Structure 1
Amino acid sequence: MTDAGPVLASQAPHAAFDPYAARVAASPVRFLYGLNPLAKLAAPIPAMVLLVFVRDAATPLAFLLLAYAILLVGVTFTKRLAAILLLAVPLGAVVIGFGFALWTDAARVDQSVVVWQIGGWTLYGGALAVGFATGLRLAAILALTLIAGLSTTGPDLVRASVQQLRVPYRIGYTALAAFRFVPRFGHELDVIRQAHRVRGAHGGRGPIAAVVRWFGYVVPLMAGAIRHAERVALAMDARAFGAHPDRTERYLVPFRARDAVFVVLFWATSAALFWLFFPWGLG
């Protein structure tokens, strides 16, 4: 990458393959992969903010179903994703809802129906309603974040921020380099583990042996991290990183008309749902 100043999108070299992150191969029906990351963030954010202030169960349930509908169409489903959406999220909502029901002040709901009573402790139906409304609210916010989280790579988000939000490239590409540290650490940790197994170091079973093994991984992992950081710093310095205010973009993440359409449609649907349920009780 060279410091040639800003270039037009039609003139800039465009790489069809992202060298920093594996692109998801999906049919055109899985439309979320083709949208700009900023559009997938901007669309659900207003609804997520407003969901913090609602207290009913119907509104977050409607947004939860909306997010699920978008994800069912927009992303490629795997067994892990199905387990998250169909098992982990509902189960988490139930657990959180029951937990908040136990913490709800009984004096505020003691006029509701009694669901469970043990000695002097009583669980009221109003407490369950408050708890499960909270659980649904958190589940809806989580599901809305998955719209961008399951269909966006970190490098694409950084590039879109640099190109559309005018985030300084010194910050953006530093974050881009940081994204590559995580998989590299995973690879180096795997190599260190294999080397320890070959040498028979820190053998044995039990928690003490596991702690000893992990302490044995720390020093070589830190040494590898320092070496990698030095190489990255030298490579960025060799490419005159930070010497000029702008850099030529090798990989473009444009904001197209379909991105604006997605944002407007999502905002309109969110407004319709809030108007339909009007969870603030002012009407």
Structure 2
Amino acid sequence: MTVAVDPYAERPAAASLRFLYGLNPLAKLAAPVPAIVALIFVRDAATPAAFVLLAYALLLVGANFTRRLAGILFLALPIAVLAIGAGFSLWTDAARVDDTAIVWQIGSWTMYAGALETGFSTALRIAAIVSLTLIAGLSMTGPDLVRASVQQLRVPYRIGYTALAAFRFVPRFGHELDVIRQAHRVRGAHGGRGPFSAIARWFGYIVPLLAGAIRHAERVALAMDARAFGAYPDRTERHLVPWRARDTVFVVLFWIASAAIFVLLRPFA
């Protein structure tokens, strides 16, 4: 049995210690942006490693510790760092690092310490950027981001809520696809096994899926017209996402911590 997950449902209550859920989505986006931009230009390994530790600390303290979070932080990212670091080490031009120590040598092929340093510093830089984006990505929802953009950034609600309606199509498509698959199984139209049968099944899903999408789009359009969407310059907000003092404090403290890391480690010196 497949359980449909609605990403637009209200987030379950979290402990007061998990402070990230109580912050404005724009604050969680604005706080790491300067560090992310600066990390693009650093070349050492210590600076991105420090930002990885900072992001890990914020996520482990401020977000609910779930299996998904544990898998990302302690499995997916470390494996990605090892794979990307090894790949970039192999691709590094040996002529540029042949003045560094030799780590190992197989026949005429030599791995230099400089190549490993270049590869893993690049991998750590990517991991730091991903870790910083996870602060917002794992602790906010799409609707809250849209509402905050409309309320604080003054994004026209015609754009914001149109995008929100478009995002709503994604779980709707998943539900429609599940219903179509179940209907095919009930009718015995599974089409056999093998790659060609799978391709044939997917072609059989396309027409009913498009028909369901068109019907859903018509219902959404009629519902928006019935509510006079776009008739007035402003709309009354049912869910408010205010910018509070704690949002300002979080952004300022994060910027101070980021500046302190760059000052102490001096990656641009």
Indicate the TM-score class for this superposition, using the shorter chain for normalisation. over 0.9
Q: 1:151 to 1:217 in 2, by over 3 A?
A: same
Name whichever of 101-110 and 118-127 sits farther off: 118-127
Q: Which residue of 2 aligns with 1:7?
A: none
Q: What pairs up with 1:217-228 in 2 under 5 angstroms?
A: 217-228=205-216
Task: Give the TM-score, by structure 2 length.
Answer: 0.96
Asked if 1:197 corresponds to 2:182, the answer is no
SS at match of 2:103: strand
SS at match of 1:180: helix
CA–CA separation in structure 1 for the residues paired with 2:116 and 2:17: 40
CA–CA separation in structure 2 for the residues paired with 1:271 and 1:116: 38
State which of 127, 133, 136 in structure 1 corresponds to 2:115: 127
CA–CA separation in structure 1 for the residues paired with 2:171 and 2:72: 22
Asked if 1:210 corresponds to 2:198, the answer is yes
Q: CA deviation at 1:167?
A: 0.2
State which of 255, 259, 267 in structure 1 corresponds to 2:243: 255
Q: CA deviation at 1:259?
A: 0.3
Asked if 1:68 corresponds to 2:56, the answer is yes
State which of 133, 140, 155 in structure 2 corresponds to 1:145: 133
Q: 1:255 to 1:34 in 2, by over 3 A?
A: same
> Contact 2:150–2:157 (CA<8 Å) still a contact in 1?
yes
> Contact 1:159–1:253 (CA<8 Å) still a contact in 2?
yes
Q: CA deviation at 1:24?
A: 3.1
Q: Which residue of 2 aligns with 1:34?
A: 22
Q: Which residue of 2 aligns with 1:169?
A: 157
> Contact 1:162–1:168 (CA<8 Å) still a contact in 2?
yes
Q: Which residue of 1 aligns with 2:79?
A: 91
> Contact 2:25–2:144 (CA<8 Å) still a contact in 1?
yes
Q: CA deviation at 1:244?
A: 1.0
> Contact 2:7–2:141 (CA<8 Å) still a contact in 1?
no
Name whichever of 39-48 and 111-120 sits farther off: 111-120
- Supply the RMSD in Å over aligned alpha carbons: 1.3
Q: CA deviation at 1:123?
A: 1.4
Q: CA deviation at 1:280?
A: 1.2
CA–CA separation in structure 2 for the residues paired with 1:113 and 1:22: 56
Q: Which residue of 1 aligns with 2:222?
A: 234
Residues 256-277 of structure 1: per-residue CA shift (max 9 Å, x gap):
0000000000000000000000
Q: CA deviation at 1:30?
A: 0.4
Asked if 1:246 corresponds to 2:234, the answer is yes
Q: What pairs up with 1:96-115 in 2 under 5 angstroms?
A: 96-115=84-103
CA–CA separation in structure 2 for the residues paired with 1:19 and 1:118: 51
**Identity fraction in percent:** 78
CA–CA separation in structure 2 for the residues paired with 1:38 and 1:146: 14
Given residue 75 of structure 2, which amino acid in structure 1 is its aligned partner? L
> Contact 1:37–1:157 (CA<8 Å) still a contact in 2?
yes
Task: Give the TM-score, by structure 1 length.
Answer: 0.91
State which of 137, 143, 150 in structure 2 corresponds to 1:155: 143
Q: CA deviation at 1:19?
A: 10
CA–CA separation in structure 2 for the residues paired with 1:24 and 1:46: 31
SS at match of 2:191: coil
> Contact 1:202–1:212 (CA<8 Å) still a contact in 2?
no
Residues 184-207 of structure 1: per-residue CA shift (max 9 Å, x gap):
111111100000101111332211
Given residue 146 of structure 1, which amino acid in structure 2 is its aligned partner? L
CA–CA separation in structure 1 for the residues paired with 2:256 and 2:7: 36
CA–CA separation in structure 2 for the residues paired with 1:71 and 1:130: 28
